[in-house]
Amino acid sequence: MKNKIDRRKFLIGTSAIGLASGIANPLQAQTRKIIKGGIKPVVVASDNGYTMKNGGKFNCVETAFNKIINDDDVLDALIEGVNIVELDPLDASVGYGGRPNAEGIVQLDACCMHGPKKQAGGVGALEGIRTPSLVAKAVMENTDHHLLVGKGAQDFAKNMGFKVEDDLNTESSREMWLDWKRRIDPKHYLDPQKRDLAGRNAAMEMINEGLIPKNEYYGTINCNGINTNGDLCGVTTTSGIAWKMPSRVGDSPILGAGLYVDGEHGAAGSTGRGEANIFNLCSYLIVEEMRNGAHPIDAGMTALKRIKENTIEKRLLNSRNQPNFDVIFYIIDKTGRYAGVSLYAETSKDKPFQYAVCTENGSTLSKIEPLLEGNSA
């Protein structure tokens, strides 16, 4: 057959003509068999897992997939993939050049889970290290704990040989923080209600003016994968919500919120408003739904409905009495079925949510299944 895939070749990447990113994948031959009749390997991630390359040939999902089909440990492969995004100064939502907190300091969160080993590790409010996903993995492998935060996490990383830098801001991330800072009360610490409104309104003004993409306000990368043996792993890493309160830890490093992997049933991770995800422990809920036989899409919709039902505070509702924020889930089950689901269909008017996928047919951006039409505005 003309389109039959040679068992000894894998052409990574396909032309992404017509996709929102406008980026074409490189065509690179990989000499590795994908065993027919077994589980088809797949890697899924947030859209920056497709668009960001840090000046290289491969994006996150391509890098992870290539390593998985060459028999690398699935978690090692996924982390090497997200390292590309963490190190890319053009991605302002993760790692180096990520959005700083309200005091101008970049604090990073990350979590990883290994399905077959039934192990996990995470870090929160970590300063000075560009690749928090690797520190999370070191916590998993070298401690009896699941989560280290703040200075203790940095001290641990230093002891493990990680380079600690004084400042992870880029010129761009610092300029955006200064712009945000100038827009709110110079004293900054108002009464809680006014401070929250001032900070959010300033951020929304900057989004509406096109200064920062909306997805970078909450920005994160989640990446999950499965190999032909059915080994499931996942990793989530982020700089957190832009200009957050110092020491705020979001959902990304919290097991069951920003990431959950059960090697016997599935993996799920998220991007978007972390507080909504923590409150509902949605990644855990999604995996439990798959444990009970649900398809990844249906499992994700259950979690999104839970968020919608539990969002009742007026400050978190739009004019339609629906959540005024976004949450997106990236899901794989034990059989290799996968999905991306979101609260809303669009990030903004006429800009649909998409997620990154890499299979034996290459990498692409795929349409996300929404719970609600339109966008969160």
| Catalytic pick among 51, 63, 220, 238 | 220
Residue 315 per-residue DSSP state: G
Residue 25 per-residue DSSP state: P
Q: What 3-state class would DSSP assign to 205?
A: helix
Dist. CA 291–CA 42, nearest whole Å: 19
Write out the E strands in the chain. Answer: 10-12, 28-30, 42-46, 108-114, 119-126, 147-149, 221-226, 232-238, 259-262, 266-272, 327-333, 338-344, 346-348, 351-352, 354-359, 362-367, 369-372
The answer for 321, left when phi > 0, alpha when psi is -120 to 50, beta otherwise, is left
Q: Which two tokens stand for residue 266?
A: 């599935």
CB 223 within 8 A of CB 44: yes
Whether 51 is a known active-site residue: answer no
CB 278 within 8 A of CB 259: no
Could you give the residue numbers annotated as active site?
Answer: 220
